[in-house]
Amino acid sequence: MNSPTIDTDEVLVDCQSVWKIFGDKSDAAIKAVTEGGLTKTQVLSDYNCVVGVSNASFQLRRGEVFCVMGLSGSGKSTLIRLLNRLIAPSLGKVLVKGKDLARLGAAELREMRARHIGMVFQSVALLPQRTVLENAAFGLEVQGVPKAARNETARKALELVGLAEWVDRYPSQLSGGMQQRVGLARALAADPEIILMDEPFSALDPLIRRQLQDEFRQLTKKLGKSSVFITHDLDEAIRIGDRIAIMKDGVIIQIGTAEEIVTNPADAYVAEFVAGISRLHLVRARSVMGSVADYRSRQPAVSIDQLPKAAPEADIDELIGLSMQSERDGIAVVDKGAIVGIVTVRDLLHGVKGTRSAAPTAGAPAS
Amino acid sequence: MDSSALTDMFDAWIDAALEWLVDNGDFAFSLLRSMLEGFYDGILWVLDLPPFYVVAAVFAVLGWRLMGLGSGLLVGAALVFCAAMGLWPETTSTLALVVTATVLALAVALPTGVVAGFWPAFDRVLAPVMDLIQTLPPYIYLLPAIALFGFGPATAMVATVVVALPPALRLTSLGIRLTPVEFIELGQASGMNGWQMFYKIRLPFAMPSIMAGINQSLMMAFGMVVIAGIVGSGGLGQTIYEAIRTLDIAKAIDGAIAIVVLTMVLDRLSQSGAGIGQGAQP
């Protein structure tokens, strides 16, 4: 899961305490919510306004895939539309590449959307009267790139998604998965740094979905793109997200890596979500290990040097393999030559079950 | 009675308004009349210049390109049939009248429909006007037209334009208004300006609706052109009207058959033209 060697500290999208309230009296509602602390249901009954996004803050860094996971009505689709200002926030700021979207003029905003922010839709939205190639070249056409040049770029983008043979077909001749690849190629052809993915794979069948998830992740990493990816499927978020934000009722409840969220859910809602997730490849040695001193006090007879050794990044699956080959009941976790902890069989079982044996380690919820 | 006094007042007012228009707008209406007749005469001149079989052949080729060989031959045969009934001059003048009136109606209806599609308030004002035009009996328009333009094809054209306006206008407005939301979002997210959004997104999606409107306007124009025989439109309408006046039933039926044949030809041609407007979708 390592990112290529680019400046991963650079913040591309900075979402600062953003609110979106829909309705005629949204101005009054926003005041009541921020000053009076009204709940979502109170706002609905008192002001007839719907809270879409409530005080959301996060940052998208260069090169990462940031997943926003939530059920329908959680505000995730509203959130992603705030990032390219298809929806203007009621309160708060969205900065893209350091520029406040609210302060851009109409032409600057168009320029920002055309060159720096690509978007892929759940509905795909391919123009039915245009060929696959013309659809893929659409963004460049809008920018006024001459036909030969934009077709060339679009052709390359279609090659990237494996549709080189289909350029002259019409969208209606393609399967759902292929249509979504065209949608991705259209976003890639304009070569934006940021790609907004609005539940792109939700309507596809499971096998195709998984294939596209893997391809999407490989492609974004290879091209060094950054992406905000909306999904209602936690498996999908874990599969492709470097970091995941969990949303409920317009609020971001927790932000963290898949491992952090699975091993250390912020509340009962998140815990319920992650309950069914397999931890074999998610939980790593460093988050289940106990301290060396602890192990010594319980097993004074065992020499720690003779235990099998594993890296802190080794996952549960690997650790189970190691402990099955060994007669001892512990695995030493070695970081930079020093033993930093011991994983016992009991720790492993806790790791698989998702319960906690040692004191909590990494994974505090981000603010 | 109070109400009849009111009605008399209203009628007097209408008469006065029309009279005022005739007295004061004479120059403008004469100018408009000669423009309309010039347009009509031009088209008629083109249609009457070659012998009937050349015109039939041109339409046959058009039908072949748009609909295929069989339909093309049928179109050609239909026109030859009109000529065979001895009604060729009437057929061309009806054709010229319908085409000029429809073109003029579309020249007003399409842009107005686009504006109404973008601007719901304007659409709400137009809706009752269109309702009125469509519910009034069509020959109502002949009277004021005859007062302003006199006896002849110009009057028939004005009345026909009025009747042909609503379908194209309404369906254009509807088509523009009903652009799918996801494509509007696509346009915005791609950084489109308003003009690009119009001709690259809204117009292509509105095209089937607009084409249906054009076809319907054409059909309305056909219906009106026959009625307009009363005011000396010339063509098949007048043939039928005069045959009815002299109780020449055979002649009236000849004319009616020619009208039906001609209507079908133009209907099919314009519908298949609409298919092409929707873009090459296999």
Together in a domain, A346 and A229: no
Kindly give the interhelix angle for B249-277 and B69-84, rounded to the nearest 10 degrees: 150
Name the residue in chain A with its Cα closest to that of B200: A142
Lowest mean pLDDT among A13-22, A106-115, B149-158, B200-209: B149-158
The answer to whether residue A3 is domain-embedded is: no
A24 located within any domain? no
Check B188 against A139: CB less than 8 A apart: no
Are residues A160 and A188 in contact, defined by beta-carbon separation less than 8 angstroms? Answer: yes
Question: In this complex, do B182 and A125 lie within 8 Å of one another by their Cβ atoms?
Answer: yes
User: What's the total number of domains in chain A?
Assistant: 2
Distance from CA of A199 to the nearest CA of B (A): 13
A304 and A192 part of one domain: no
Which one of A248, A274, A300 terminates a domain?
Answer: A274
Q: Which residues in chain B have their CB less than 8 angstroms from residue A130's CB?
A: 279
| A179 plus A296 within the same structural domain | no
What's the N-to-C CA distance of chain B in angstroms? 68
Q: Is the pLDDT of residue A1 over 60?
A: no
Is A133 contained in some domain?
yes
CATH code at position A340: 3.10.580.10
**What is the model's pLDDT at position A172?**
93
Of A110, A127, A130, the CB nearest to B193: A110
A325 and A235 in a common domain: no
Is A55 part of any domain?
no
From chain A, pick out residues whose CB is under 8 angstroms from the CB of B278. Answer: 129
Question: Buried b / exposed e across A193-232, counting CB within 10 Å, b at 16+?
Answer: bbbbbbbbbeebeeebbeebbebbbebbbeeebbbbbbbb
What local confidence, expressed as pLDDT, does residue B275 receive?
61
Sign of CA dihedral A160, A165, A171, A176: negative
pLDDT-based confidence at residue A350 (cuts at 50, 70, 90): confident
* Residue A3: per-residue pLDDT: 43
| Per-residue pLDDT, A2 | 45
Per-residue pLDDT, B277: 45
- Cα B102 to Cα A13, A208, B109: the distances in Å are 54, 52, 10
Cβ neighbours of residue A51 under 8 Å, at least 6 residues apart? A19, A20, A21, A29, A33, A40, A43, A44, A75, A249, A250
**CB distance A116 to A97 below 8 Å:** yes
Give pLDDT, residue A362: 43
* CA dihedral (B241, B245, B250, B251) positive or negative: negative
Does the pLDDT of residue A258 top 80, yes or no?
yes
Residues A240 and A316 in one domain: no
Question: How far apart are the C-alpha atoms of A25 and A299, rounded to whole Å?
Answer: 67
Is the confidence at residue A335, as pLDDT, over 80?
A: yes
> Does A70 share its domain with A216?
yes
Phi, psi of A254 (to 5 degrees): -155, 140
Residue A179 domain-assigned (yes or no): yes
Task: Assess whether pLDDT exceeds 90 at residue A80.
Answer: yes
Q: Which residues of B touch chain A, with CB atoms under 8 Å apart? A: 180, 182-183, 185-193, 196, 200-201, 204, 278-282
> Is residue A360 over pLDDT 90?
no
**Structure confidence at residue A93 (pLDDT):** 92
- pLDDT, residue A366, reads 39
A33-70 pLDDT, tens digit per residue, is 878 777 778 888 888 888 899 889 999 999 999 999 99
Nearest-neighbour CA in chain A from B72: distance (Å): 26
Q: Do B185 and A121 touch (CB under 8 A)?
A: yes
Q: Are A252 and A325 part of one and the same domain?
A: no
With an 8 Å Cβ cutoff, are A170 and B182 in contact? no
Contact A143 B279 (CB under 8 A): no
Q: Interior CA angle at B96 toward B93 and B97, to 5°?
A: 85
Question: How far B196 CA sits from the closest chain A CA (Å)?
Answer: 7
A177: domain CATH number is: 3.40.50.300
B203 vs A365, more confident: B203
Name the residue facing A114 among B191, B204, B279 (closest C-beta).
B191
User: Please, which pLDDT band fits residue A327 given cuts at 50, 70 and 90?
Assistant: confident
pLDDT at A8 over 80: no
B208 exposed, middle or buried (CB, 10 Å; 0-12, 13-18, 19+)?
middle
Q: Which of A119, A129, A141 sits opposite B189 (nearest CB)?
A: A119
Q: Which range marks the domain in which residue A318 is found?
A: 285-353
For residue A90, the distance in angstroms to the closest alpha carbon of chain B comes to 19
Closest-CA distance, A36 to chain B, in angstroms, reads 34
This prediction has a pTM of 0.80
Same domain? For A259 and A182 the reply is yes
Q: Are residues A248 and A295 in the same domain?
A: no
Q: What are the strands, taking DSSP E only, across B112-213?
A: none
Domains of chain B, with CATH numbers?
A: 26-48+86-277 (1.10.3720.10), 50-84 (no CATH)
Give the start-end residues of each E strand in chain A: 11-22, 50-61, 65-70, 91-96, 99-100, 117-120, 194-198, 226-231, 243-248, 251-256, 309-310, 330-335, 338-344
Residues in B touching A173 (Cβ below 8 Å):
282
pLDDT tens profile A267-314? 999 988 888 888 888 888 888 888 888 888 888 888 888 888 888 888
Are A158 and A166 within 8 A, CB to CB?
A: yes
Exposed (0-12), middle (13-18) or buried (19+): which is A329, by Cβ within 10 Å? middle
Instruction: Confirm or reject contact between A71 and chain B (CB < 8 A).
Output: no
Between B82 and A358, name the one with better pLDDT.
B82
With contact defined as beta carbons under 8 Å apart, do B269 and B192 qualify?
no
**Residue finishing a domain among A241, A274, A307:** A274
Q: Is A297 exposed, middle or buried (0-12, 13-18, 19+ CB in 10 A)?
A: exposed
Give A357's pLDDT tier (boundaries 50, 70, 90): low
Please give the Cα distance from A305 to A217 (Å, whole number): 40
pLDDT at A14: 93
> Is residue A41 in a domain?
no
Which of B190, B201, B211 is the mutation pick for testing A, counting most A CBs within 10 A? B190
**Residue A6: what pLDDT?**
59
Residue A363 or residue A104, greater confidence: A104
Residue that is last in its domain, among A230, A246, A274: A274
* Per-residue model confidence (pLDDT) at position A361: 44
Residue A170 inside a domain? The answer is: yes
Residue A273: per-residue pLDDT: 85
A40: exposed, middle or buried (Cβ count in 10 Å: 0-12, 13-18, 19+): middle
Residues A133 and A243 occupy one common structural domain? yes
Asked if A190 and A329 sit in the same domain, the reply is: no
**Is A156 part of any domain?**
yes
Each residue's pLDDT tens digit, A151-208: 999 999 999 998 999 999 999 999 999 999 999 999 999 999 999 999 999 888 888 9
Query: Does one domain contain both A222 and A323?
Result: no
Looking at the partner chain, which of A127, A142, A170 has a beta carbon nearest the beta carbon of B191? A142
Whether A129 and B188 lie within 8 Å, measured CB to CB: no
- Residue A117: strand pairing partners: A194
Ordered per-residue pLDDT tens for chain B, 282 residues:
567 888 888 889 988 888 888 888 888 888 888 898 899 999 999 988 899 899 999 999 988 888 888 888 998 999 999 898 888 999 999 999 999 999 999 999 999 999 999 999 999 999 999 999 999 888 888 888 888 888 888 888 889 999 999 999 999 999 999 999 999 999 999 999 999 999 899 999 999 999 999 999 999 998 888 888 888 888 888 898 889 889 998 988 998 899 988 988 888 888 887 665 444 443
Structure tokens at A47: 């002001």
